[in-house]
Chain A
Amino acid sequence: MMPRWLRWAILALVMIFLIGPFFVIAAAALHGGETLAFPPKDLTLKWVWKVFEVESFRASFGLSILLAIGGTALALVLGVPAAYALDRFRPKGSEAIRLMVTAPIIVPGIIVGLALLRYLVIPVDLPMIAALFVAHTALLIPYAVRVVSASLANLRVDIEEAAVLLGCSRIGAFVRVTLPNIKSGIFAAFILGFVTSFNQVPISLFLAGPGVSTLPIDMLWFMEFTYDPSVAALSALLALMSMAVVLVAERLLGFSRYV
Chain B
Amino acid sequence: MSDPRYLALDNLTLAYGGSVAVQDLSLTVKQGELIALLGPSGCGKTTTMRAIAGLMPVAGGTVTLAGRDLTHLAPNKRGIGLVFQSYALFPHLSVEDNVAFGLKLKGVPAAERAARVKNALARVDLAHLADRLPKALSGGQQQRVALARSIVVEPGLLLLDEPLSNLDARLRLEMRSELARLQRELGITMIYVTHDQAEALALADRIVVMRAGKIEQQGTPEEIYERPVSSFVARFMGFENCFALEEHKLVGAGGVLPAPAGASSAGLAWRPRGVQLGSGPHQGEVLGASYQGQSVEYLIQSAAGPIKAEADSSAPRHAVGATVAFDLPLSSAAPLTSVD
Residues of chain A at the chain B interface (Cβ within 8 Å): 155-156, 158-159, 161-169, 172, 176-177, 180-181
**Nearest CB on A from B85, distance (A):** 8
Most chain A CB atoms below 10 A, which of B54, B82, B88, B149: B88
Are B76 and A161 in touch, CB under 8 angstroms?
no
9 pairs of residues in contact across A and B, judged by CB atoms under 8 Å: A159-B88, A161-B55, A161-B88, A162-B88, A162-B90, A165-B53, A166-B76, A169-B76, A181-B90
Contacts of B106 in A (CB 8 A): 167
Question: Given A169-B76, A177-B90, A163–B101 Cβ distance below 8 Å?
Answer: yes
Q: Which residue of chain B has its CB nearest to the CB of A154?
A: B91
B81 touching A165, Cβ below 8 Å: yes
Task: Assess the B75–A164 pair: CB atoms within 8 A.
Answer: yes
Contact A181 B91 (CB under 8 A): yes
Whole-angstrom distance between the alpha carbons of A172 and B80 in the complex?
A: 18
CA distance A159 to B135 in the complex (A): 14
**Measured CA separation A158–B88 after assembly (Å):** 6
Within 8 A of A (CB), among B7-54: 53-54
Contact (Cβ within 8 A) A165 B80 = yes
The reply to whether the CB of B84 lies closer than 8 angstroms to some CB of chain A is yes
In the complex, what distance in Å separates the CA atom of A156 from the CA atom of B135? 13
Using CB atoms and an 8 Å cutoff, list the residues of chain B in contact with chain A: 53-55, 74-76, 78, 80-82, 84, 86, 88-92, 101-102, 105-106, 149, 153
Residues of B within 8 A of A177 (CB): 90
Q: Once the chains bind, are B82 and A165 in contact (CB under 8 Å)?
A: yes
B86 touches A156 (CB 8 A): yes
Q: Shortest beta-carbon distance, A159 to chain B, in Å? A: 5
Whether A163 pairs with B90 at a CB distance below 8 angstroms is yes
Judging by beta carbons under 8 Å apart, are B76 and A165 in contact? yes
Given A158-B84, A165-B76, A167-B106, 6 other A-B contacts at CB below 8 A? A155-B91, A159-B88, A159-B90, A164-B76, A165-B78, A176-B101
Which of A164, A165, A167: most chain B Cβ within 10 A? A165
| Contact A158 B102, beta carbon cutoff 8 Å | no
Chain A residues lying within 8 Å of B90, measured Cβ to Cβ, are 159, 162-163, 177, 181
Q: Do residues B53 and A168 form an inter-chain contact, with CB atoms below 8 A?
A: no
| CB-CB nearest in chain B for A157 | B88
Q: Using CB atoms, name the residue of chain A closest to B55.
A: A161
What residues of A have a CB within 8 angstroms of the CB of B153 in the complex?
A: 166-167
Question: What is the CA–CA distance of A56 and B75 in the complex, to the nearest angstrom?
Answer: 58
- In the complex, the answer to whether A180 meets B105 with C-beta atoms within 8 Å is no
